[in-house]
Amino acid sequence: MKSFDAIVIGAGQAGPFLAARMVEKGMKVALIERKFLGGTCVNAGCMPTKTLVASARAAHVARNGAVYGVNLSGEIAIDMKVVRARAETVTMNARNGLIGWFAGMDGMTVIYGHARFEDAKTVSVNGETLTAPRIFLNVGARPVIPNLPGINDIDYLTSTSIIHLDRLPRHLAVIGGSYIGLEFAQMYRRFGAEVSIIEHGPKLASREDEDISDAIADVLRSEGIDIHTGASDIAFARSRDGITVATDSARIDASHVLIATGRKPNTDDLGLDAAGVITDKHGYITVDDSLATNVDGIWALGDCNGRGAFTHTSYNDFEIAAANLLDGDDRKVSSRILAYALYIDPPLGRVGMTEKQARASGRKIMISTRPMSRVGRANERGETKGFMKVIADAETKKILGAAILGIEGDEVIHGIIDAMNAGTTYAALQWSVPIHPTVSELIPTLLGDLKPV
């Protein structure tokens, strides 16, 4: 049996950085990863997909160059092999960077293999037994595959496998109208494929307010994407030319099907029962405000704890654990203000409450909206789709939430994120003097138009 001061299972966006901090403190740490360092973000999530999004945007801009007085002769051609290779290069650079970083750390032992608990202090991997007083789980999540008729009879894609495509689908059917599905739908439409989105619910991006969901649908439809919401009785069958996707109201002749119906935690094969670690009905590991599980000496970080499904929340889990365990702090997950982005084009930046949540809270609220068509920078760039929206507490004058669907919305939202985290009132932020011409310069104007509801 090999002894360590800590064992980290899973090398996503929390565990490796926590392991590095512990090594800096002179601890002996084992980092166990069953596949690739970097987790979903580096290998099958943010980095490759946003690289693909960038290629798709380049195609879109080139295709619409004449609007800006830039005339290109002939059709825009997409070389999917180059597109794929570029995304793989970005991934490999990041992964190899982690490999080199860890190789230079005395006290760090990286083990590739499938770890399982033998008991609350013991883990087995590759036929060896490891023990440590502290064990951290950062095992991430994977795509959910729904039990739909005919799904096992077709060769479907997931968000993991689609990034390896090196040819353009004739017609991509996306099953699921949430964030992952929407990004791939627009991306492949811009590459030149026909695209259909099939969503069981009544609207796209169901977490968002209805006006945001409607605006997202308008953006996608304007680019020629076919959208089917409220779809039921979804079924699949092989056809002579590909795959038939049937619903209660539509029949789609697709060449490829992407299943984008959510994700589930990678917790079902870790031997958690042997350690006594409790999970909820969905398989997420139950943690307290400090990310500790019900078992003393075991913590769960990142997607597997159900307290966030983003790279930045996973990294913040590392920050919380490191601050509490290594720096004598008392940071809490519940203090985190949730923010995220949807990387369609234009992007959606979101923070805090939706309007629906704010109304349901019983607070007296104020709301302001402004179309991007009234933003000078958006007009100059010729990208006026979308709108800004902010919700505030009428009594405390604090900002409760905001949504910016529009050009650079994923960046502009950070001014509001920072204000919310600092506890700044909207009145104080309203007196800032932003740079002109920017999209962010409209935030004070947006705040000045807040009206009670």
176 marked as binding residue: yes
Take residue 388 and report the two structure tokens written for it.
Answer: 């800004």
The verdict on whether residue 281 carries a ligand-binding annotation is no
**Strand order through the sheet with 339-342:** 339-342, 348-352, 399-405, 387-393, 365-371, 451-452
Whether 179 has a binding-site annotation, put simply, is yes
Does the annotation place 104 within a ligand binding site?
no
- The residue among 426, 312, 405 whose CA lies nearest residue 354 is 405
Query: Would you say 345 is a known binding-site residue?
Result: no
Catalytic one of 114, 171, 414, 436: 436
**163 marked as binding residue:** no
3-class DSSP assignment, residue 291: coil
The DSSP string of 402-428 is EEEESTTHHHHHHHHHHHHHHT-BHHH
Residues with Cβ < 8 Å from 251, sequence gap 6 or more? 244, 245
50 is in an annotated binding site: yes
Ligand-binding annotation for 196, yes or no, is: no
Residue 223 φ/ψ, nearest 5 degrees: -100, 5
Are 12 and 36 in contact by the 8 Å Cβ rule? The answer is no
CA distances, 230 to each of 179, 198, 200, 210, 237 (Å): 17, 8, 5, 14, 21
- 142 residue type, one letter: R
Phi, psi of 34, deg, nearest 5 = -80, -20
Helix axes 80-103, 46-63, angle to 10 degrees: 150
Q: Would residue 312 show up in a list of annotated catalytic residues for this protein?
A: no
DSSP 145: -
Name which of 305, 420, 439, 407 is nearest 61 in CA terms: 407
- DSSP label at 249? S
Of 249, 250, 246, whose CA–CA distance to 235 is shortest?
246
Q: Is 303 annotated as a binding residue?
A: yes
178 is in an annotated binding site: yes
362: Cβ contacts below 8 Å, ≥ 6 apart: none
Q: Across the beta sheet with 256-259, what order do the strands follow?
A: 226-228, 194-198, 171-175, 256-259
| Active site (catalytic) residues | 436
Binding-site members for FAD are: 50, 303
Binding-site members for NAD(+) are: 176-183, 199, 262
